[in-house]
């Protein structure tokens, strides 16, 4: 019985040691960190807010429950900007924007760094005559590296998937409510 318990404990500890850690850029936890905590970390890291506002659903319809904050000057190699997205005051998504050459060499460089840190992605599409995509899943957090085929920009996206589903529902509710209102001047 002791041998079985010891064996089970060793297997569990081995699995725990090799389990992938959820990405936490700058120590921020998606789905948990508040806007205030996030803004403090951004300031501490030397970031500068250049824009903020509510999420545009379509046309002039915005969702007041979803706010984005665009930041520059964060200490990430070649980062153009980062957009931090909040749903009801909780961080749920981070979009990093990087420059991208036609040869897509930046995609391969970032991909190799992420692969080294987090292991092989769940999904991979080489950026050759197609959008380059590498996607990792960590339970409730998805990390995606995206290099559109005809683009000079590449994106690294961290997303808390349960909250992203809530945001989609919220967007639909706000859109339905706003478009159901009678239009003035018609």
Quick: pLDDT tens for 149-176: 999 999 999 999 999 999 999 999 999 9
> Nearest Cα to 143, choosing from 174, 120, 176, 109?
120
Quick: pLDDT tens for 74-109: 999 999 999 999 999 999 999 999 999 999 999 999
- 12 forms beta bridges with none
Q: Is the pLDDT of residue 6 over 90?
A: no
| Helix (H) or strand (E) run with residue 143 in it | strand 141-147
pTM: 0.87
CA–CA dist 113, 55 (Å, integer): 31
> Nearest Cα to 95, choosing from 106, 81, 107, 105?
81
Mean pLDDT of 65-77: 98
Q: Is the pLDDT of residue 131 over 80?
A: yes
Q: Where are the domains of the chain?
A: 26-179
If one counts every other C-beta atom within 10 angstroms of the C-beta of residue 88, the result is 14
Q: Is the pLDDT of residue 19 over 70?
A: no
For position 183, what pLDDT does the model report?
Answer: 78
Q: Using an 8 Å Cβ cutoff, are 76 and 20 in contact?
A: no
| Helix (H) or strand (E) run with residue 9 in it | helix 2-18
């Amino acid at each position: 019985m002791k041998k079985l318990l010891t064996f089970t404990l060793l297997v569990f500890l081995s699995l725990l040691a090799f389990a992938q850690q959820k990405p936490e850029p700058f120590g921020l936890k998606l789905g948990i960190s508040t806007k205030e905590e996030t803004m403090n970390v951004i300031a501490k890291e030397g970031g500068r807010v250049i824009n903020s506002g509510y999420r545009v659903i379509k046309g002039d319809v915005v969702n007041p429950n979803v706010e984005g904050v665009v930041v520059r000057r964060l200490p990430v190699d070649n980062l153009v900007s980062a957009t931090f997205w909040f749903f009801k005051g909780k961080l749920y998504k981070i979009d990093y924007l990087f420059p991208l050459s036609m040869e897509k060499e930046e995609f391969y460089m970032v991909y190799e760094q992420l692969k080294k840190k987090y292991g092989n992605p769940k999904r991979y599409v080489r950026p050759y005559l197609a959008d380059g995509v590498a996607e990792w899943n960590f339970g409730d957090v998805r990390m995606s590296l995206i290099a559109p085929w005809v683009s000079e920009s590449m994106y690294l996206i961290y997303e808390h998937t349960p909250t992203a589903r809530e945001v989609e529902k919220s967007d639909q509710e706000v859109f339905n409510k706003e478009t159901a209102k009678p239009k003035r001047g018609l």
